[in-house]
Amino acid sequence: MKVTHSEIVISAVHPRQYPADALPEIALAGRSNVGKSSLINRMINRKNLARTSSKPGKTQTINFYRINQALMFADMPGYGFAKVSKSVRAEWGKMAETYFLKRETLRGIVHVIDLRHPPSKDDVAMYGWFKEHGLDVLIAATKADKVKRGQWPKHMKQVKEGLGMVPTDKLILFSSQTGQGKDELWSEIGRLTQASPSEELAETSPTQDHH
């Protein structure tokens, strides 16, 4: 998709704060600091619309971004941040569960995983939970730029096996640094959000990304 317009709509905690427009929505889920916000910025060609940080636990709210008046991204707070208290973790669980199970416009989840490491216990539990609840989820294995090209197959296998993925499950190799995987992810998002896959969202961007 050629992104011509993107804006932050709201940082929400409670469902009554979720945007009321009925745009198809894609949620970004993943461990704290894995690169969810960076992935959004890369997808929409913005340096820092979705706030990123080297400190884990930056995003504590659900941040909604409207793209081309056609699509919504919901940037979920990261899970598995060791330093948070039990009560914060319980709050996170409630907020996430409410969102994933009640959000009517939700069409799919991009579950962001770090290509470098075996999936964490939380990654495995989260992925299992999405599948159990029949949610349409795909894996974006990010930070590919940090792994040598020759090692990609080995690391992809590690992610697939660690999560218990089956051959029909989708994994996209991604890097917010280089733009790798961006066109493929747009076409998957197009597939998830469009009734007819031939429509505009499914088109890949005409411009190549430069490093």
Shortest Cβ 110–ligand GTP spacing (Å)? 11
Question: Which segments of the chain are extended strands (E)?
Answer: 6-12, 25-30, 62-67, 71-75, 106-114, 137-142, 171-173
- Copy the structure tokens of residue 95: 């907020």
Using Cβ positions, the residue closest to ligand GTP within the complex turns out to be 78
Neighbouring CB atoms inside 10 A of 22's CB total 9
Stretch of 55-63, 99-107, 122-130, 189-197 lying at the interface with ligand GTP (CB under 6 A): 55-63
Among 26, 29, 36, 62, binds ligand GTP (CB under 6 A): 36
- Helix (H), strand (E) counts: the chain: 5, 7
Give the span between the Cα atoms of 90 and 77, in whole angstroms. 13
For residue 28, the minimal CB distance to ligand GTP (Å) is 8
Question: In this complex, which beta carbon is closest to ligand GTP, that of residue 18 or of residue 92?
Answer: 92
Q: Does the footprint of Mg ion cover residue 63 (CB under 5 A)?
A: no
- Which part of the chain contacts Mg ion (CB under 5 A), choosing from 17-25, 53-61, 134-142, 179-187? 53-61
Q: How far is the CB of 194 from ligand GTP (least distance, A)?
A: 26
C-beta of residue 100 within 8 angstroms of C-beta of residue 74: no
Contact between 63 and ligand GTP by CB under 6 A: the answer reads: no
Do 37 and 75 meet the contact criterion of CB atoms below 8 Å apart?
A: yes
Q: Which residues bind ligand GTP (CB under 6 A)?
A: 30, 32-38, 52-54, 56-59, 77-78, 142-143, 145-146, 175-177
